[in-house]
Amino acid sequence: MKLKEKIVIITGASDGIGKEIALRLSKENVKLALISRNESKLKLVSDECIKNGALDSKIYPVDITNTSKLAEVSEKILSDYKHVDILINNAGIWQKLKPFYEIDEEVIDKVIDTNLKALIHVTRLFINSLLDRDEAAIINISSKSGVTVQPGQSVYSASKYGVRGFTDVLKVDLKDTNIKVAGIYQGGTNTKLFEKVGENVITDDFTDPKDLADVVAYMLKQPKNIWLHDVRIGR
């Protein structure tokens, strides 16, 4: 896909992997709609994206688990940009490692609502606009935890296996349309994901989120008849 002037929505663009994807795609002269909760961090990323070459960058602060507010934001994006070409569902949170019987109700709801339910609702809100384009793409950021069983990750894994199931069915549902769908299943990446919920993980030798952003750009830049459906990344 030729990325110049394409309108790209990225959820979780204020930090970590989403921020790096925004910065990397800016170099391809895309137009960005950046979503996350933290307005001031989004603004900093957005300013940097413009410096990097983005032709436009607008920010849409919202908690994506608030479905009615998310719907308002989707209407605003479609009114600002008129259409959408690429959706990158990246926003997510970690669940502190614990055996299942020690995970409380609030954590279960928050992790499933953010990582799985909100991703499905974001996709629902933009699917018609994506279907209207000659070519379009949806990339869902799942995790290695969406394909591999790891102890202490029951709820996080449930959310990421859920993203994988949703992505795979979306792929077959949309197979005769203009929308290409891919899932990314990466291992540990050097971001603040773990620290944010008080988990002490040494991330220094994890994948650099900038390298992951390069992979996303590579996936999107392939010619029409090449598409990487299922990308597993790790050492």
Ligand X SMILES: NC(=O)c1ccc[n+]([C@@H]2O[C@H](COP(=O)([O-])OP(=O)(O)OC[C@H]3O[C@@H](n4cnc5c(N)ncnc54)[C@H](OP(=O)(O)O)[C@@H]3O)[C@@H](O)[C@H]2O)c1
Interacting residue ranges for ligand X, rule: CB under 6 A: 12-18, 36-38, 41, 63-65, 90-93, 114-115, 141, 143, 186, 188-189, 191-193, 196, 206
Task: Report the DSSP beta bridge partners of residue 9.
Answer: 33, 87
Amino acid at 68: S
Number of neighbours of residue 118 by Cβ within 10 angstroms? 22
**Token reading at 158:** 């449930």
Q: Distance from CA of residue 47 to its chain's centroid?
A: 20
Active-site hit among 81, 156, 161, 185: 156
Rounded to a whole number of angstroms, the minimum distance from the CB of residue 2 to ligand X is: 26
CB of 170 to ligand X, least distance (A): 17
Q: What gap in Å lies between CA 145 and CA 191, rounded to an integer?
A: 16
Cα(156)–Cα(193) distance, rounded to whole angstroms? 12
Beta carbon nearer to ligand X, 16 or 162: 16
Cβ closest to ligand X, residue 112 vs residue 220: 112
Residue 144 · residue 186 · CB < 8 Å: yes
Cβ proximity to ligand X: between 64 and 84 the closer is 64
Measure the CA angle with vertex 163, ends 162 and 164; round to 5°.
90
The verdict on whether 161 is a catalytic residue reads: no
Q: Smallest gap, in angstroms, from Cβ of residue 67 to ligand X?
A: 11
Q: In sequence order, what are the beta bridge partners of 232?
A: 185
Could you tell me which of 86, 23, 77, 89 has the C-alpha nearest to residue 50? 23
Q: Cα(77)–Cα(233) distance, rounded to whole angstroms?
A: 31
Closest distance between ligand X and the C-beta of residue 143, in Å?
A: 3
Q: How far is the CB of 117 from ligand X (least distance, A)?
A: 10
Closer residue to ligand X in complex, CB, 2/196: 196
Q: Phi and psi of 123, rounded to 5°?
A: -60, -45
Nearer to ligand X, 129 or 186 (CB): 186
Annotated catalytic residues are 156
